[in-house]
Amino acid sequence: MRRLYATVGVALCLACAHLGPSAYGEEIPRLTFAQLVDSIRANFEVTQTIKSYSGKEVEIQGFIIPAGPPDLSFFLLSRVSAMGNYCCEVPVGQDETVYVYAAKGVKILYDPLRVYKVRGAFEAGPYTDRTYGISLYRVRNARVEEAVGARIFKLGETTTPGSNK
């Protein structure tokens, strides 16, 4: 009888483990800043490939730049942290930011040196907002959380950022 309970318990745990991630949106595609930058074309245009994500739920990871109000209803998501003055180049004239319009009630402890995971409806292509001006990439109705559980690599291993969940 005990073995039966144990078997049923293990089976239930495995079922939950299998169902869990999809319930939390495992299928949501992740876009990287490298993909976004590579998709920019002349005259503020973007490629059809990146446009195909428009209206779909995506995940983008980056640093928060609180360019809007302190309730974080709007902020920029950037490849580079606003704090490290010498870590990496910030290109002038090259758009490496995503305009994030957050869903109400962003409850995070803001840390300029922390990578955050943003999920929401993606928009690609030029758009002019009355308050925040022109942008190339936007995420609307966004949910924000700290990006945790990043894969740790062994010496000699390589990876693509898209698989880093």
Partner 1 sequence: MTVLTVALRSLRGRFVASALTALSIALGISLVIASVLLSRGIKEGFLEGTTDYSLVVGAKGSPTQLVLNVVFRMDVPTPNILYRSYRQLLDDPRVEVAVPVALGDAYQGFRYVATTGAYFAAFPWRRKVFAVSSGRFFRDDAPEQPTYEAVVGAEAARRTGLRVGDRFYEGEEMAEYPLAVVGILRSTGSADDRAIFFTLASFWEMNEVSRKMKIKPLTAVLVRPKRMSDLPSLHRGLNVSTETQAVFPSAVLLTIFNLLSLAEEVLTMILTTVVIVVLLYLFISMYSATLERKREIATMRALGARRATILGIVLLESCALAVIGGVAGILGGHGAAYLGASLLAARGGLVTNLSLVSALEPVVFASVIFLGALAGLLPAVLAYRTEVAENLAPLS
Give the interface with partner 1 as residue ranges (CB under 8 A).
Answer: 65-72, 75-76, 78, 80, 82, 85-86, 90-93, 95-97, 99, 109-110, 112, 130-136
Identify which of residues 93 and 156 has a Cβ nearer to partner 1 in the complex. Answer: 93
The answer to whether 104 touches 40, Cβ cutoff 8 Å, is: no
Closer to partner 1 by CB, 10 or 34: give it. 34
Alpha-carbon gap, residue 143 to 106, rounded angstroms:
7
Give the C-alpha separation, 36 to 124, whole Å: 9
CA separation for the pair 66, 57 (Å, rounded): 22
Closer to partner 1 by CB, 125 or 165: give it.
Answer: 125
**Shortest reach from residue 16's CB to partner 1, in Å:** 32
Closest approach, Cβ 25 to partner 1, in A, equals 26
Residue 61, Cβ neighbours under 10 Å: how many? Answer: 20
Min dist. Cβ of residue 103 to partner 1 (A): 18
